[in-house]
Copies of this chain bind each other. A is one copy, B any other.
Amino acid sequence: MLNFDFYAPARILFGKDEEKRAGELLKPHAKKVLLHYGGGSIKKSGLYDAVAASLKANGVAFAELGGVKPNPRLSLVHEGIALCKKENADLILAVGGGSVIDSAKAIAMGVYYDGDIWDVYEEGKSIEKALPVAVILTIPAAGSESSGDTVITNEEKQLKYGYGSPRLRPLLSIMNPELFFTLPENQLANGAADMMSHVFERYFTSTTHTDLTDGLCEAVLKTLMKNALLAKKDMKDYDAWSELGFAGTVAHNGLVGMGRRQDWACHNMEHELSAVYDVAHGAGLAVLTPGWMQYVYKDNMGMFVQFAVNVMGVEGSYRDSEAIIQEGVARLRDFFNKMGLPATLSELGIGEDRLEEMAKKATGEAFGRESPIGGLKKLYWQDVLNIYRLVK
């Protein structure tokens, strides 16, 4: 086990009707909040009205900024920063999924940042201060409700970069699984793939003596797969959505990766797809992950046997590791397939013409600062291109 620094202070308020407590919960922390959200779904569902009523009943004023899109854009972040300054907002309440929360975090930093907040993403500059962010989650997927991470797309530059700081950990996150009932099926599937990937990126490691976090990762993965299939059968299954929501938070609050060398190659490779083709992050991960496994397993047989046996339930003779691993990866593909997720780049509408460009962006090669990605196996741009081609 490696040394680690674990800090996950976000308070999680979980269960039925918790969103109605928004005003009561935020009152001690804010006089005026920026209510930040996406399209009109929260207005249609009544969530907007419930939150607004709760804020008003508790004397918490608010300004608002809707319009966050999947793969949230820098231009709206700029708008949010200006609005927060104008309105003197002292907290941002993100009502939505990962895109809304990530956008809120960018605004929260931007209010105190002298210059274009994109610098922080592109140059990894450190920040000193940010407004507090609170969350009402409407889709379990990104894990941004407990993490200190944010990913923003610079639509002009066709770049999608992430940034992380303990200062960006939300103050509190409200999660009522009933709010997930009206999601479209493909968002359930994309979310499941994203949450699983958050665990995979931490689980596949070359670090030894990781009993506890191995077990935690495996528990989260099995919970996610079982309950994603249950929710797919019945999109109003409260218990299944509860497991997905809670597991999604544990998947990405840092805990299950503590003391482990982490990987993150699949996320890096996927960000390039999303930045150029604006595909759904989870769908991109579902395509790339089995390809990545095929490409890297040979150097890490033990880890992949463990995955096949402990997570995918493969039985067989350990003398035939190769067969066990292949069966494990096949079962993962099968799970993604059952969830209706794509298996190839072409299903995502991605052709071969820009694969090399994306591979070179993913590894920094395109910007003259080559830095291979992946903690388990170092991947150079040629490797990334090979993986893209494996799943074309």
Contacts and interface: CB of A to CB of B under 8 A. Distances in A.
Interface of A: 1-9, 11-16, 18, 208-209, 211-216, 218-220, 222-223, 226-227, 239, 242-243, 246-247, 250, 255, 258-259
Contact of A4 (B14, B211, B218): B14
B220 A218 contact: no
Contact of A258 (B9, B14, B222): B14
A212 B246 contact: yes
Contacts of A216: 216, 219, 250
23 contacts: A1-B239, A1-B242, A1-B243, A1-B246, A3-B15, A5-B12, A5-B13, A5-B14, A6-B12, A6-B14, A8-B9, A14-B259, A208-B239, A212-B220, A212-B223, A215-B218, A215-B219, A215-B220, A215-B222, A216-B250, A242-B259, A246-B259, A255-B255
Nearest to A239: B209
Given A211-B226, A212-B220, 12 more contacts: A1-B246, A5-B12, A5-B14, A6-B11, A7-B9, A8-B8, A209-B243, A212-B223, A212-B250, A213-B246, A242-B259, A246-B258
Copies in the complex: 2
A128 B390 CA distance: 60
Contacts of A9: 7-9, 11
Residue from A11, A14, A246 whose CB has the most chain B CB atoms within 10 Å: A246
Nearest to A146: B6
A2 to B, nearest CB: 7
A208 B209 CA distance: 33
A243 B208 CA distance: 12
A354 to B, nearest CB: 39
A111 B212 CA distance: 38
Contact of A211 (B12, B243, B258): B243
Contacts of A214: 219
A218 B222 CA distance: 13
A247 B15 CA distance: 27
Contacts of A219: 212, 214-216, 218-219
A295 to B, nearest CB: 29
Closest 5 CB pairs of A and B: A3-B15, A215-B219, A9-B9, A209-B239, A6-B12
Contacts of A14: 3-6, 258-259
Contacts of A8: 8-9
A9 B226 CA distance: 30
A340 B71 CA distance: 57
Nearest to A242: B1
A228 B214 CA distance: 17
Nearest to A220: B212
